[in-house]
Amino acid sequence: MQKQKLVMVGNGMAGVKTLEELLKHAPDCFDITVFGAEPHGNYNRILLSPVLAGEMTLPDIMLNDLDWYRDNGITLHAGRKVVEINRARRTVRADDGTEVAYDRLLLATGSVPFILPVPGKDLPGVIAYRDIADTEAMIDAARHHRHAVVIGAGLLGLEAANGLILRGMEVTVVHLGGWIMERQLDKSAADMLQASLEAKGMKFCLQAQTAELVAADSGRVGAVRLKDGTELAADLVVMAAGIRPSTSLAESARLLCDRGIVVTDTLQTVTDPRVYAVGECANHRGTAYGLVAPLFDQAKVCANHLAGFGIGRYEGSVTSTKLKVTGVDVFSAGDFQGGADCDEIVLHDRAGGVYKKLVLKDDKLAGAVMVGDTADGAWYFQLVREGKDVSEMRDHLMFGQSFTQSQLGDAGHQGQSQAALLPDSAEICGCNGVCKGTIVKTIREKGLFTLEEVKKHTKASSSCGSCTGLVEQILASTVGGAYQSTDKYAKPVCGCTEHTHGEVREAIRQHKLLSIPDTMRALEWSTPNGCATCRPALNYYLISTWPFEAEDDPQSRFINERAHANIQKDGTYSVVPRMWGGLTTPDELRAIADAAEKYKVPTVKVTGGQRIDLLGVKKADLPLIWSDLNAAGMVSGHAYGKSLRTVKTCVGMEHCRFGTQLAMDLGVKLEKMLFGMWSPHKVKLAVSGCPRNCAESGIKDVGIIGVDSGYELYVAGNGGIKTEVAQFFCKVGSDEEVMEYGGAFLQLYREEAYYLERTCHYIERVGLEHAKKRVVEDVANRKALYERLLFALKDAPDPWAEQRTAPLVRNYQTIDLNNSSGDRHGLAETVSS
């Protein structure tokens, strides 16, 4: 099969990141040609400032040298600028006459600096600050000249001014605005930063407009004349007044441009679907991004579509800014300016050099800005991005993550905010003996931006994971705005793939994948058999999406599910027969007692789920004890499964003088309806016959509380390590409605939640209102969800059919998913008849 031709115009970070992702997904799909205007490989533009300051050199910031292009079969035309795109013939032509045909065209032309249209703008010594050539020109000017003026007090201007001061120049910053970095800081934060910069020699002219650049006798620029007549000596003038998306090439090809090349959520241009655009040149939903993190997000989606998967969508990014200017840490995220409808919490310690402002709106953190102490920046940014309700932590919020979590009883991440204060010699990862200095050096040398990349190159956070928070904080403080923070399910499923849970699930649904091998082939798994993390997830996604047709893979179940019992710390097993709704009979109790005596079970315990647990059963006795219990009509309680565990009940109106509804009767109905249900994680229900709530319905995945007029339904509760109180879902009038509404909610959870995501975390991710709209408000959708649940439970292959029939001889040839090595082993369980 002949390869398609992909041509990329532009050789910057966003474009090359797209190629890197494409080579991971489909290395043999395209013949790739790259045109870059600069005579270099791909380098890290974020680190130009350390190069200017003398802290790094050009080789230090290279991300992809020329050898990388050759090794990956990419034709690189370095130092050649594309001047024409012929969309009718599908060709591009460079300024040296080189012409290349394409099937797909990727525009990654970046941005161009805005040059003030003032007299003298073309004089020698007037430069922008955008690339390596600009940086080298500034370094050369600092060797021979003394006075510099930087026009613009944004991020780039202050970094240029700082680098030139460190090179020995006297620098004045001219800025049109009322305070510096007005896009990243409010006035109080800017004033504090300005005072710190002035103390180190930087001078400022604010609310000043440049009128003219005046030539010296040598013909080189000699001064900057302001509109008020003031003249500032200037042997070097650096224009840092902003950037504009580079769209001239796209415009000449008649692609729609409006403050950038207009693209869709798939990064295809709206004019021509064969042409893609990523990076600073692209306008997505009215926004052209200038920070690395959203550009890399675009690159991943674009590569996904070029590879032919078509399952990714870029929906925009919430960004933050974190930088260090002459040793002063600065952070901002979200709407930090606030307004009449917002509350502000402010800490202003001028003497201590610390300023923090948190902006709250509707019990959520809307924005944050900090100077001096930015250790909790990553945490605040996470709260802004997730839109989490912070009302309970409001009184502690200003004091950071560690203090807030300690006050709320969560000490799990108290070390994160201290990472920026640690010395380079501090050990971060005790499992692998990695210190902070090693992590920082590796991030800078290899151009790392994500936690997964740091794990790969340093092994920090790759073992027990207890240092993950510290590593993420170090990463954020090292690369600033380029930091790519991801939540658990936005990361790859495991090391066998680059795909997230959402991408895998969507691919299975969209391409009707029916087996684990099919899925691994379609998504180009990097390992032939997967691992203990991805195989159970894939198996669940397959059988929950296609209950009729998907192949259920016994090898992808953990030992607990294969043995139909929970393994204990001493190697014995716990056997829990099901008691429907917590009800039992003398015959069932007698069968349990007989089994306990016959197999010398050392411990018999009543569980919190109103069942009886037989603890200490030997592995060899498991098929025998289940055979005896099955003969008495008892089936597994699935205490080990990602499935329905229990439906806890109170005695209800059947016996209790306070009861308003038949709790036990409804509990049995629910448990029998949901028996055998696969789910992303364990599911627990409870039915209380009155508002006294004796069955603890308020901390269950689905909780039902009887009232005089019917039932109240609560969802997304959790009584585990961190108790989550269930949220009110709806009120219904009958048992049948409880089963319909509750079943529809569980089916929505089954279809949308990720593997090992509890209902409380699922609702936290998608929002309770989403579930209410799909189940409570949309009648047709609710009934469809309920029908799909009943259909799957009735007609899909029973995952526990083997256990129900209780065969006397079982032979397993499986991958032991509790064994990290993944070795195959045979487990024979044989009994006599």
Exposed/middle/buried for 29, CB within 10 Å: 0-12, 13-18, 19+? middle
Give CATH for domain 4-111+245-306.
3.50.50.60
Secondary structure class of 450 (helix, strand, coil) = strand
Hey, which CATH number is domain 560-631, 3.10.580.10, 3.40.50.150, 3.90.480.10, 3.90.650.10?
Answer: 3.90.480.10
Tell me the pairing of strands 236-239 and 243-245. Answer: unpaired
* Amino acid, res. 818: N
Report the alpha-carbon distance of residue 349 to residue 617 in Å, rounded. 64
Report the alpha-carbon distance of residue 695 to residue 699 in Å, rounded. 10
Q: Roughly how many angstroms between the first and final C-alpha of the chain, as a whole number?
A: 59
Give CATH for domain 422-486.
1.10.10.1100
Who contacts 122 (Cβ-Cβ below 8 Å, separation ≥6)? none
DSSP 8-state secondary structure symbol assigned to residue 757: -
Report the alpha-carbon distance of residue 622 to residue 9 in Å, rounded. 65
Question: pLDDT tens digits for 258-275?
Answer: 999 999 999 999 999 999
Report the alpha-carbon distance of residue 344 to residue 342 in Å, rounded. 7
What does the pLDDT read at residue 740?
95
Report the alpha-carbon distance of residue 90 to residue 274 in Å, rounded. 9
Domain with CATH 3.30.413.10 in the chain: 644-795
Name 189's bridge partners: none
Residue 709's CB is within 10 A of a number of other CB atoms, namely 11
Report the alpha-carbon distance of residue 401 to residue 417 in Å, rounded. 7
Whether 318 contacts 384, CB under 8 Å? yes
Secondary structure class of 528 (helix, strand, coil) = coil
Residue range 320-417 in CATH 3.40.120.10: no
**Is residue 694 marked as binding?**
yes
Whether 751 contacts 544, CB under 8 Å? yes
Structure-token pair, residue 358: 């948190």
Whether 658 contacts 690, CB under 8 Å? yes
* Amino acid, res. 740: E
Contacts of range 607-611, beta carbons closer than 8 Å, 24 or more positions apart: 607/576, 607/639, 609/582, 609/637, 609/639, 609/645, 609/646, 609/648, 609/684, 610/579, 610/582, 610/646, 610/648, 610/649, 611/576, 611/577, 611/578, 611/579, 611/582, 611/637, 611/639, 611/646
Q: Which CATH architecture has domain 644-795?
A: 2-Layer Sandwich (3.30)
Tell me the pairing of strands 30-36 and 75-78. Answer: parallel
**Is residue 690 marked as binding?**
yes
Alpha-carbon Rg of the chain, whole angstroms? 32
What does the pLDDT read at residue 142?
92
Name 30's bridge partners: 4
Length of the chain: 833
Report the alpha-carbon distance of residue 447 to residue 372 in Å, rounded. 25
Domain with CATH 3.50.50.60 in the chain: 4-111+245-306, 126-241
What does the pLDDT read at residue 484?
57
DSSP 8-state secondary structure symbol assigned to residue 552: P
Domain with CATH 1.10.10.1100 in the chain: 422-486
**pLDDT less than 50: residues of the chain:** 411-417, 430-431, 463-464, 466, 796-833
Residue reference for tokens 């409605």: 737
User: Nearest CA to 158 among 193, 209, 116, 112?
Assistant: 193
User: Nearest CA to 130 among 246, 262, 7?
Assistant: 246
Longest Cα–Cα distance of the chain, Å, equals 109
What does the pLDDT read at residue 305?
92
Report the alpha-carbon distance of residue 200 to residue 215 in Å, rounded. 29
CA atoms within 13 A on the CB side of 770: 10
User: Nearest CA to 260 among 131, 155, 108, 115?
Assistant: 108
What does the pLDDT read at residue 322?
63
Task: Give the Å distances, CA to CA, from 378 to 319, 345, 413.
Answer: 11, 18, 13
DSSP 315-382: -----EEEEEETTEEEEEEE--S--TT-EEEEEEETTTTEEEEEEEETTEEEEEEEES--TTHHHHHH
126-241: what fold? Answer: FAD/NAD(P)-binding domain (3.50.50)
H-only helix segments in 529-598 = 534-545, 559-563, 586-598
Residue 594's CB is within 10 A of a number of other CB atoms, namely 13
* Amino acid, res. 681: H
